[in-house]
Amino acid sequence: MEIILILLVVALLALGLLLYRQFRKTNASPLDLVSLIQTNHQLMGDKLQQQERMLRETLQKQEHTATTSIGRLNERLAVISSAQKNISDLAGQIGTLQNVLDNKQARGLFGEFQLENLVKSALPPDSYALQHTLSNGRRVDCLIRFPNPPGATAVDSKFPLESYRALTAATTEETRKPLVRTFSADIVRHLEAIAERYIIPGETAESALMFVPSETIFAEIHAHHEAVVKKGHQLRVYIVSPSTLWATLNT
């Protein structure tokens, strides 16, 4: 802005000098010269004010644009920071889950813990019983007390994770094939055990649930072990996961 002012002053002086020379050549009266100088001075003043106003508006727009850009940048940085925190939290949760799955005793409690949290968050205390002993002496992980029908529904959470871990650790198709059969056989045996232990006429519902504590394992069973799922339907033992438990119970 200072440069513009200097240029305008220089231009004004040059104009004055030019007018003076014209005055001497034309022999114009001093009043005419004064009038001409005043007119040009007014024009230069108006021009200067216009330039100053335009410059001020430009600077204000640039300042507004810069402020807006900085605000948007800060918002994006906040989103990135939040995403990084979520990723870090998820990595920590995955590490915790891996530690759980590496410990055999912890694996047995993992499904029970998940099932307990789901039930406690959705049902009043008098609508379920944890580690409930049935009339045949068998203890079920959770008995959900629905009115008839369907009646009290047993939910088992002791999923056989050993064979699944072996299956996921297989590195070749040759080693994977027998492990697939073992995994399927282990699930079927567990389904049969649930049907035998937790479906009691007159005491429980005519069906029971096998709770799988992982959506990944649940998806693996339904995608690649269709015969196992059908066997469960024949036994009236339905395989559920944390996201499908209540949907299955409501059907």
Residue spans per domain, the chain: 2-91, 104-249
Question: What pLDDT sits at residue 188?
Answer: 94
What integer pLDDT is reported at residue 228 of this predicted model?
92
Nearest CA to 211 out of 127, 105, 130, 126 is that of: 130
d(CA 232, CA 188): 7
pLDDT tens-place values along the chain, 251 residues long: 556 555 555 565 565 655 556 555 555 555 555 565 566 666 666 666 777 777 777 777 777 776 776 767 667 666 666 666 665 555 454 445 555 555 555 555 777 888 888 888 888 888 899 999 999 999 999 999 888 877 889 999 888 778 888 887 878 888 888 888 888 999 999 999 999 999 999 899 899 999 998 888 888 899 889 999 999 999 999 999 888 888 887 76
Looking at the domain covering 104-249, what would its CATH class be? alpha beta
Cα four-point dihedral sign 76, 81, 84, 90: negative
* Stated pTM of the model: 0.58
Dist. CA 131–CA 199, nearest whole Å: 15
What pairing do the DSSP bridges indicate for beta strands 128-133 and 139-145? antiparallel
* pLDDT reported for residue 139: 93
CA 198 to chain centre: 38
